[in-house]
Amino acid sequence: MIYFTPTHWKDYELLDSGNFEKLERFGTYVTIRPEPQAVWDKSMSESEWMHKATVRFQANSSNSGEWIQFKPCADSWRIQYHALQLTCNLKFTSFKHVGIFPEQAVNWDYMHAVCSSRPGLKVLNLFGYTGIASVAARAAGADVTHLDAIKQVVNWTRQNMEDSGLRDIRWIIEDARKFVAREIKRGNVYQGIIMDPPAFGRGTNGEDWKLERDINALLKDVQKILDTKQYFFILNTYSLGFSAMIIENLLHTIFSSYKAPKEVGELYLQDSFGKKLPLGVIGRFTNIPITKSSR
């Protein structure tokens, strides 16, 4: 198994982790957020955390919550991912997220390297969220379709695209399973498919999604719209107890006709004290020769 973590990101830093929380710096703001996998002790004291923090997310019983502000800050702000010259617009949401998952920079680098090696690839980003993955692929010259079930999130992606100096991403607001089923009927194929499905979710019309129950069937459909001549595929999951072995089995059974080597592993972030915080498992493969480093 391979372990992946981003490197050299000036605008992001995991300062500390422990006691089911993480202390992170996004640009000039420092956040405290819940983190169920940080089961160890913090390296810094609580007073040190509070001295550094700009805001802290306080969860309530329904998994949403509110931000407690300690220092002056705006409701939204920007940071840069300088490695690919991308702009990330961030906001304090009611579900503890701010608009990016920093560990995903590993995948941004990978898809940018693949797409740069073969400009004009047709790429589909399912479960696109705020779309830095879409923007990264577009920055490398790909023809990108971005799909998410929530209109406000798609608008957020558009802002990330425009502020990164790009244009012409195709926007789809729809349930991922319904869209893929229609693409099969239409005979459409993509050279690149990116998937980062949530553990739980709702489609545009309230369709229920559960990762463990639904991922196998969706991947079988996704395989039907992935090109067989030139291709890349990325699957990222974050769900407690969802093993990398599950991803390995799915890739080797459903995508067995794709002979490119399958990379499977864990994503993590390392805090400033050397503790490694696991943040999901990924599987990926491509038969497109990468002409520059993806790490």
Q: What is the pLDDT along the chain (295 residues), one digit of tens a residue?
A: 899 999 889 999 999 999 999 999 999 999 999 999 999 999 999 999 999 999 999 998 767 899 999 999 999 999 999 999 999 999 999 989 999 999 999 999 999 999 999 999 999 999 999 999 999 999 999 999 999 998 999 999 999 999 999 999 999 999 999 999 999 999 999 999 999 998 888 777 777 889 999 999 999 999 999 999 999 999 999 987 789 999 999 999 999 999 999 999 999 999 999 999 999 999 999 999 997 654 4
DSSP codes joined into one string, 58-120: EE-TTS-EEEEESS---SEEEEEETTTTEEEEEE--TTS--S--GGGHHHHHHHHHHHHHSTT
The CA distances from residue 31 to 14, 164, 274, in Å, are 10, 24, 19
Tell me whether domains 2-81 and 101-286 share a fold: no
Spans of all domains in the chain? 2-81, 101-286
Pick the CATH number of 101-286 from 3.40.190.10, 3.20.20.70, 3.10.290.10, 3.40.50.150: 3.40.50.150
What are 232's strand-pairing partners? 192, 286
Residues 6+ apart with CB under 8 A from 3: 265, 266, 268, 276
The CA distances from residue 258 to 10, 107, 197, in Å, are 37, 20, 22
- 65, 21 contact by CB (below 8 A): no
CATH architecture of 2-81: Sandwich (2.60)
